[in-house]
Structure 1
Amino acid sequence: MQARLNGTVIAEAEDDDLIRIEGNWYFPPDSVNHEYLQESPTPYTCAWKGECQYYSVVGDDGVLQDRAWSYPEPYPSAIERVGKDFSGHIAFWKEVEVAASPHPGQ
């Protein structure tokens, strides 16, 4: 799967490495090209996942504020509920297209 903004690949990982939570795909931290992300100071704590780290996504057309997020240290109960440790995994909001890689296995 890939996360793309206007054709630019921001993240890419094998389907088995992704974690789906509440309809969003979370990419492993090492599969994300961090040059397209800027840490955001926006505070948020999810009642069941824990403290969130937002990122703004930087593209050719400018900065999309708070369009990516991660839970660096999710609550242990959240990891148990999801069934996998999603610490540091990054998800993207609607402007970033998450879809199958056009050339799987490459």
Structure 2
Amino acid sequence: MVTATLNNTVLASSDRTQVVEGNHYFPPDSIKNEFFKPSDTHTTCSWKGVASYYNAQVGDQLVPDAAWYYPKTTTDKAKPIEGWVAFYKNKVDVK
């Protein structure tokens, strides 16, 4: 089981994560939506497509762009993580 936490609060937990480029991508149904707000940030990966970001908030602590996902991937290789959420390890504990 892989868990993403912020201030000892579970943001996501799953035994079905997929590891891509060293990052655990969590299935959408494992994310606790109440801790996430959409960010205006977007970046582009040459083989995955355009990433959208989430800000995470637990109590008074807001962590901008703590997580990202690809709402629509651009290659067949990236399709398995389409819509799945990954976390920045320097912003959220992932174990």
Q: When the two structures are superposed, what TM-score results if normalisation uses the length of structure 2?
A: 0.90
Task: Indicate conservation of the 8 Å contact 2:49/2:72, yes or no.
Answer: yes
Segments of structure 1 that go 5 or more residues without pairing to the other structure are 100-106
Segments of structure 2 that go 5 or more residues without pairing to the other structure are none
Corresponding residue for residue 62 of structure 1: 61
Whether 1:96 aligns to 2:95 is no
Corresponding residue for residue 6 of structure 1: 7
Corresponding residue for residue 37 of structure 1: 36
The structure with the largest strand share of the pair is 2
3-state DSSP class of the match of 1:43? strand
Deviation at 1:62, TM superposition (A): 1.9
Deviation at 1:77, TM superposition (A): 3.7
Give the Cα–Cα distance (whole angstroms) in 1 for the partners of residues 4 and 41 of structure 2. Answer: 22
Corresponding residue for residue 28 of structure 1: 27
Q: Which amino acid aligns with 1:96?
A: V
Deviation at 1:22, TM superposition (A): 0.9
Moved over 2 A (4+): 76-79
Across the aligned residues of Structure 1 and Structure 2, the Cα RMSD in angstroms comes to 1.3
3-state DSSP class of the match of 1:44? strand
Q: Max radius of gyration: which structure? A: 1
Q: Percent identity?
A: 41
Q: When the two structures are superposed, what TM-score results if normalisation uses the length of structure 1?
A: 0.81
What is the aligned length? 93
Q: Which amino acid aligns with 1:8?
A: T
